[in-house]
Structure 1
Amino acid sequence: MDFNLSLSSIIIILFLSFFLTILPPSYCDVEDDPFEVCNRTHACGGVNITFPFWGGTRPDYCGHPGHELTCLETDQYPVMGFEGLDFRVLNINTSSPTFTIARSDLLVDPCAPKYQDTILNYDLFDYASTDQNITIFYGCPDVPDIPYRFNCSHGVSDGNIYAYYLVDEHPWSRQLYPQFNRCDNNIMVPILRSSALALLEDTRGGAPAVEKAMDEGFEVDYNNGLASVCGVCKDSGGVCGSNSTGAFVCYCRDEVQPYMCPKPITLSAGIGVLMVTICCFKRKLSSNKIICFWKKESETHKSVEAFLRNNEPLAIRRYNYSDIKKMTNFFIDKLGEGGFGGVYKGKLQDGSLVAVKVLKESKGNGEEFINEVASISRTSHVNIVTLMGFCFEGSKRTLIYEFMPNGSLEKFIYKENRSKANCHLEWETIYKIALGIARGLEYLHRGCNTRILHFDIKPHNILLDENFCPKISDFGLAKICSKEESIISMLGARGTIGYVAPELVCRNIGGVSHKSDVYSYGMMVLEMVGGRKNIDIRVDHSSELFFPHWIYKRLELDEELGLEGVMNEEDQERARKMIIVSLWCIQTDPLNRPPMSKVVNMLEGSLDSLQIPPKPFFSSPPRSPADLSTTTETSQVIL
């Protein structure tokens, strides 16, 4: 491709690119786009259903939990249920915001209702100021001189049975209530205040007057915060809805936001920004630099596509980005966020749940994406997460994994997380998790056709299935090498501070090899045992600041370990075994660390066969939170 472009050509390309970005994007899959679906008019009988209501042809994600309407083909109005009572929804007024409902049983026959007071879901709704309660008494004898009654004797051959209605808070009510003690039943029914006044004035109206009041229904206020937040969303050009957890979301074009859509750049503002951009480019950048930027993006795309071509046919499926949007229901249910990007819950066509990781822009030539696909597609092990597919389309890069219901390990091992999630793992389960991770690493180092070094073993990258079986995930920093390679060359350190092996930073300690994963594993298992970060700046005593130092001293003096949740001798033995193995794993010299195959044997063997290792060399750990930042490329390490 010829990149010798003139400055005028560059300006034209910039203008066209910028002009296209300020135009609203469109979906190819309009039928499945929540923005389009929820923005359509959905009618149920004579009522248009709008947010927060849903039902009929309007899917649940267009509304809010507790606002479902049922559309019956035999009825001209939608129906909503409260506490065993059905209500016809006569009207939805978005400007109030209120909706008008009427008890279905009273509409059918006011003489044969369910003898139950009218009850709403008061967490979501409230009576409007236009409502007035009336009490209807049924199965009453004839009470002379009381006009507010109607005859319910149809079908009765031996005389008249009356029903009486009293308007609550009316002076007559206090006087007449005692006279209706002999009635069989009574119910409270809200009606419109105007209907209540009409009943008081029409003393001879009887059943027709009551039926008219029931037909007019009563108003319910749904302004519980949803109306105001929806107004903000609509003002920003979005459409109101909710995600799978019931939280409010604002559907924008091609994206989902928590409350409102980003403000679009107007054409005039866009032209102004474009002119400033052109000036800046003209003054500060040569055309060669611009071309290099475009060339780099093109080279990144080429390198990834070349990798995919060279590794075809891959054992995993390649998806289009439109498939990803359908799979995740347009990224409604977010599971988590990391430095790599976001993870969303999705569902395949066969109903299988998946976790979809949407990667941010990759560093280098798409190295993280290539690493992930190349390394994990070569694996098949119970303790390695399964990659079920991927998407590489333009700048969109996503990875599709099997869904792990219990999430990542850090949620269960740190005390502060356990208290929030109200969960605590038994020591037997912790031990089995540590053993499963060790087996997974042994497989990566020895069981594959090639050796895979992970370089980012930490609790966040260990996922747990429904049975707490651990699975190693996140191979973005992995490196593939042949089994014959014992020492590999690397340009820079990689990993997360607190778990990075010392040889990755200080090369005179030893060569980088699979023993670097062994170090990270040991540091992680110590955190599993201690229930805290290895470096904890919150402890009161400096001797407890660095947990490996503290636990080694206790082990060396054969003192009580003081670990939480140890209930019996079996728990004590498991904890001591994990500690001794971990201390072997974090030896400063890589040659002194056991390979993962030996780690598995040590964990499965008896405690009596294990020797306490030499004390690793620990320097003074950092004491400020700034020193404990998590990175994927770090030059700091705790020795």
Structure 2
Amino acid sequence: MDAKLLPLTLIISLVLLAIPSCVCQNDMQYRLCSQPFRCGNIREIDYPFWGGNRPASCGIPDFKLNCQGDVLRLRIDSVSYRVLSIDYSMHTLKVARDDLWNNLCPRFLYNTTLKFPSFTFPLVPGDLPEMLPYKVFNCNMNQTNSCSFYLEPDNQATCNGTILVPVNRSALHLLTNLTATSTTLSRALEGGFSIQWWVDNDNCNLSKQSGGVCGYNQDSGSFSCYCTDRPHDLTCDGTRPGNGVCITTTGIVISSIIIFFIRKQHRLRKLDKESNQNINKFLLTHGSLAPKRYNYREIKKITKSFKEKLGQVGYGIVYKGELPDGQLVAVKVLTETDKNGEEFINEVASISGTSHVNIVNLLGFCYERKKRALVYEYMPNRSLDKFIYSSGSLSSDAYLEWEKLLLGRQISSSFSLNVEAENSAEGWETGYV
């Protein structure tokens, strides 16, 4: 990848990462509450009800439903009801007393009371049948057999204990029949009765029309509209106060990143311009005698991606390389590049200005900001210190003939003179002989 495209690629990646993460954090309620749940033969259970895979934020607290097997239950105060059907168009539930399901003799006697204003009994038009006659049935409670009966609430009969249970109109007609039995009563109770719920449906309708999902804010105890970006008060319209907080925050972050990279690129271009001026000045001064300038990509190609390491010296690592014309070279890649570009170019000029028949020549250099390297002639017999020392101690084979010792002394003398003259030791650590 082109290094110039890297900042732009990074910015695009941050945009793609920042926006989805913001949306994911804020639309979790939208995704959870947009999925109705099913229990038994009752499907599409939605707002204002919650339970199952719908968390409490998807419905009103009084409307919690509990699904056990195929039975859907609703608890109102201390009484549990089986939910037989839900009619969203009429906002009604058909429920039956759970404690009276297949049981005419409950252990505890509770009246059927509803929690106003969430639930009420619907007004049923029409005339009710005549007063129910006494209907007696046996009931065994606490191992005591008692005589029980059912009748209308207005009947003046005296009972030790009573409960009030509504039944639907068709079941009521059957109970007035003289042939009715306890089985008729059981069927009437299991047939259930209707209750009506009340919520502010206008808010929910507005939320759905704007593409939102109805929910409940548990902190404020009020209606909440869940949208794909974040929760809103009523609708998903962009004109509502507070919209776009997530997007605005993301925009600020992205803008800050873009400004940072623009300023960084401007600063780097300024440094590159100054360095190029120094390098051009150096190349013009030395003319054809100046070492060749390589870019970092060429250095990698010469060393075959730094495949063969020759050794490690101060401030760098030396690799074996090969130029396009087949000449072998030793490439010293600098690892500590705290010096500025001007100092590095001065050192290159100092090294290239030193010439001796017994000192390896500097063939080229690389300077790309922090990436810097020196290209020398390759000497196959390694360096003098590698020949003398082995594993940190004087080698047993470390002897030289008098001619080589004199040559070494001559090199050393020239070495010292040049170092003193140029006041720089950079590059001499690769003195191969």
Q: TM-score, structure 2 length as denominator?
A: 0.46
Larger-gyration structure (1/2): 2
